[in-house]
């Protein structure tokens, strides 16, 4: 196992741990599980279905790319899989937002928004840090391929949060008329 | 089909969608979807709404 993989697994584990703590903090009842009503559960089921098919199709495309050879844009091949995961996740979240089931019954929306903003700022800081330190984007060899030395996971995470934010904003504007 | 009787009963009790949703332990969007006719609630939710608005199932959900 390469060091990159070990760090990636460790990063995911730390991320999951932080997420669990944040979910407890952001839920009004301090439980790790978010509660949804019956309509939200049905809508979430549809979201997961669309997300599953998105990942399935994108993974088939990534598989084809891995056979044919990745395009020469200096991005490590492993991150194409991560991109496909983020794509599926984005589909799930945007559909959830559109169906009004992104927030559960026991969620404190203001706290959630704060956490999202904090996560976005943190990720953006990590994204620009290499450029601020080196004043250039370095190139290094990963799995025999020359790649830009960038925090790809953080870049994808930032884009994901921005898309979720925009979707939430659009939904809020379109549903404002419904509210009394 | 829009459920105008539910909307009228809610307005009659001077409740907002948010308040009714809280009384029935569902989200505001779910109440909005029921009023717009986008979602058919289960019998349990229908009963919860009827209890909250002091109405019968026939009065709110029976289509004539």
Query: Which ipTM value was assigned to this complex?
Result: 0.90
Answer with the residue of higher pLDDT: A87 or A70: A87
Answer with the residue of higher pLDDT: A24 or A53: A53
pLDDT digits (tens, 9 = 90+) for B13-22: 999 999 999 9
Nearest CA in chain A to B16: A180
Nearest CA in chain A to B41: A39
pLDDT band with cut points at 50, 70 and 90 for residue A69? confident
Residues A18 and B6 sit within 8 Å (Cβ to Cβ): no
Range of the domain at B51: 4-58
Q: Tell the residue number behind the tokens 């984007």, with chain if given.
A: A137
Asked if pLDDT for residue A30 goes beyond 90, the answer is no
A2 burial class (0-12, 13-18, 19+ CB within 10 angstroms)?
exposed
Residue B8 falls within a domain, yes or no? yes
**Residue A38 touches partner B, C-beta closer than 8 Å:** yes
Q: At what angle do helices B17-24 and B43-53 cross, to 10 degrees?
A: 120
Q: What is the CATH number of the domain that holds B40?
A: 1.10.260.40
Asked if pLDDT for residue A45 goes beyond 80, the answer is yes
Residue B64 falls within a domain, yes or no? no
Q: A179 to chain B: which residues are within 8 Å by CB? A: 17-18, 28
16-35 in chain B: CB under 8 A from chain A:
16-18, 25-30, 32-33
CA distances for B31 relative to A39, B45, B49, B56, angstroms: 10, 10, 9, 17
Residue B42 falls within a domain, yes or no? yes
């Amino acid at each position: 196992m390469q060091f990159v993989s070990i760090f990636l697994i460790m990063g995911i584990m730390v991320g999951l741990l932080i997420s669990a703590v944040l979910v407890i903090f952001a839920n009004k009842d301090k439980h790790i599980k978010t509660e949804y009503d019956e309509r939200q559960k049905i809508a979430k089921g549809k979201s997961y279905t669309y997300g599953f098919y998105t990942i399935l199709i994108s993974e088939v495309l990534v598989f084809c790319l891995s056979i044919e050879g990745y395009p020469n844009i200096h991005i490590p091949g492993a991150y194409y899989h991560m991109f496909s995961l983020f794509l599926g996740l984005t589909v799930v979240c945007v559909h959830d937002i559109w169906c009004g089931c992104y927030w559960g019954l026991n969620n404190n929306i203001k706290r959630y928004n704060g956490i999202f903003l904090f996560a976005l700022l943190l990720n953006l800081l990590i994204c620009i840090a290499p450029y601020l330190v080196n004043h250039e984007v370095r190139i290094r060899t990963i799995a025999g391929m020359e790649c830009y030395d960038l925090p790809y996971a953080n870049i994808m995470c930032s884009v994901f949060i921005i898309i979720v934010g925009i979707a939430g904003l659009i939904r809020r504007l379109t549903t404002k008329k419904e509210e009394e | 089909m829009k459920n105008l009787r539910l909307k009228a009963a809610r307005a009659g009790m001077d409740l907002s969608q948010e308040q009714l949703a809280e009384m029935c332990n569902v989200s505001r969007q779910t109440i909005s979807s029921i009023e717009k006719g986008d979602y058919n609630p289960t019998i349990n939710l229908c009963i919860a709404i009827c209890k909250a608005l002091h109405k019968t199932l026939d009065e709110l959900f029976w289509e004539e």
